[in-house]
Chain A
Amino acid sequence: MSNFLTGQLMAAGGENEPMPSVLAVPIDELVVGLLAFFIVFGVLAKVALPKIKDALAARSEAIEGGLRKAEEAQAEAQRALEEYRAALASAREEAAAIRTQAQADRAAIVEEARVEARAAAAAVTAQAEAQLAAERAQATSQLTRQVGEVAVALAGKVVGQTLTDDARVKATVDSFLADLESQVAQRGAGA
């Protein structure tokens, strides 16, 4: 075995050529080894491996991009849903506010109408009363005068003489009418 290391073994042909050691490192074989590596490394590193590296990066990018897109879509959908919910809630609120407002308005309008109606009614009543009062006063005074005249005419006929221009008669008639008036007034108050 020591022949392996010392290289003293004879060549198989039996010639007197010493066999080199297996641990010898001839320069030419070393160069062959170096060249072999650098050729393989150079070509793979420059040509083949960048392609597969890019392809792998593109693939993981595609997968991650797909996932990200899906996530984005989901977030978008969630956002839309929330927006929709918010819009719905605000619409409901608005509707409620409008309803409340409408109720308030209605009450106000009704109240206003009622007040107006009352005022109008009061005015009509007042006017009617005033007219009635005026008519009654007119009627009363007319009646009073006619009654007086009738009474005087009757009394004249009863007495047989004309009392028309007598001051006393006039005074009597007046006091009678005043009595009558106060009686009417009393009756009116009593009624």
Chain B
Amino acid sequence: MSLVAAGSLECKFENAANPCGFPAAGSEIFFFDDLVSWNFLGTTVGINKVTILVAIAVVAVLAFFLYAFRKPQMVPKGAQNLGETGYLFIRDGIARDVIGKEGDKFVPFLFSFFFLVWTFNVLGIIPFAQFPVTSVFAIPVAFALIVYFTWVPLGIYRQGFGGFFKGMLFPPGVPKPMYILLSPIEFISNIIVRPFTHAVRLFANMFAGHLLIATFSIAAYYLLTLTVVGLLGSVASFTMAVALTAFELLIQALQAYIFTLLTAVYISGALHAEH
């Protein structure tokens, strides 16, 4: 911080530990105070920004698709056309492509995940919202748990308890002694680690993206002083924040796609024994 002319700097942030130091964005930007809270069965239940954003996203997704598909026309136009593109993307691009013939049954499941996750992600760059609710770990965990408790029972139901675990833990075409090594790895990777990675992949991407945008945005404001260095730093930081916002737009769609694609892959694995 010695580059900043100390004399001209006003303290824009009050930081007890380091007065006038750069207040790097930390985990505190992922926690919000409850706007309303009340006691529910001994625990405090509150409504904060995350709750409100989740509600807005749910309403937005439902409103769009209920409107788009309210009265489907033979020749689509407008919102129906857009919604249909989304529907066909999930049906043909994910469900049929990954799961196959039976994929059509899982289209609503995959469709809901994709558009809800995407909307949650996009909230990160919507002005005033500016917070991707998928960067709250509990949200991806909730989704990953739903997926986990869908494909595991589905696999047991379709392949039988023994068949399901045999197919997963003892993949064919492997020399028998290798199972000593392979089976525990398969068990850990599929049954224990899989839901965790499924949730963390989405969470970490959104978390990191939000942190980066926040950091550069804070820097753009923090460095804005009437000095050459301050202006250069501020403009550079602001440019980075804008570029990262554009990059996030890509990542948001990509992560929603990856989450949905993996869901389809897990369901497919549950329906058909591995080969």
- Interface of A with B (CB < 8 Å)? 3-4, 9, 11-12, 14, 19-34, 36-37, 39-41, 43-45, 47-49, 51-56, 58-59, 62
Q: Which of B24-32, B185-193, B227-235 forms contacts with chain A?
A: B24-32
Size band of the interface chain B makes with A: 35 or more
B29, chain A: closest CB distance, angstroms: 9
CB atoms of A52 and B72 under 8 A apart: yes
Residues of B contacting A4 in the complex (Cβ-Cβ under 8 angstroms): 26-27
B16, chain A: closest CB distance, angstroms: 5
Quick one: given A40-B116, A58-B74, are A48 and B69 in contact (CB under 8 Å)? Answer: yes
Closest to B207 in A: A22
Q: Is B94 an interface residue (CB 8 A)?
A: no
B40, chain A: closest CB distance, angstroms: 9
State the majority secondary structure of interface residues on A. helix
CB atoms of A41 and B28 under 8 A apart: no
Residues of B contacting A26 in the complex (Cβ-Cβ under 8 angstroms): 138
CB atoms of A45 and B112 under 8 A apart: yes
B215, chain A: closest CB distance, angstroms: 13
Report, nearest first, the 8 A-B pairs whose CB atoms are least far apart. A33-B142, A55-B72, A29-B138, A45-B108, A41-B112, A33-B139, A48-B69, A52-B69
Closest to B16 in A: A14
Quick one: given A3-B26, A49-B111, are A19 and B31 in contact (CB under 8 Å)? Answer: yes
State the majority secondary structure of interface residues on B. helix
Within 8 A of A (CB), among B110-157: 111-113, 115-116, 136-143, 145-146
- Interface of B with A (CB < 8 Å)? 16, 26-28, 30-31, 43, 45-46, 50-51, 54-55, 57-58, 61-62, 65-66, 68-74, 76, 80, 83-84, 87-88, 107-109, 111-113, 115-116, 136-143, 145-146, 207
B138, chain A: closest CB distance, angstroms: 3
CB atoms of B58 and A40 under 8 A apart: yes
Residues of A contacting B107 in the complex (Cβ-Cβ under 8 angstroms): 49, 53
CB atoms of A37 and B62 under 8 A apart: no
Q: Could you write out 27 A-B pairs with CB less than 8 Å apart?
A: A3-B26, A19-B28, A22-B27, A22-B30, A25-B138, A28-B46, A32-B51, A33-B140, A33-B143, A34-B142, A36-B58, A36-B116, A37-B142, A37-B146, A40-B116, A44-B112, A48-B62, A48-B65, A49-B108, A49-B111, A51-B69, A51-B71, A52-B68, A52-B69, A52-B80, A55-B72, A56-B87
Quick one: given A19-B27, A22-B27, A36-B116, are A30 and B74 in contact (CB under 8 Å)? Answer: no
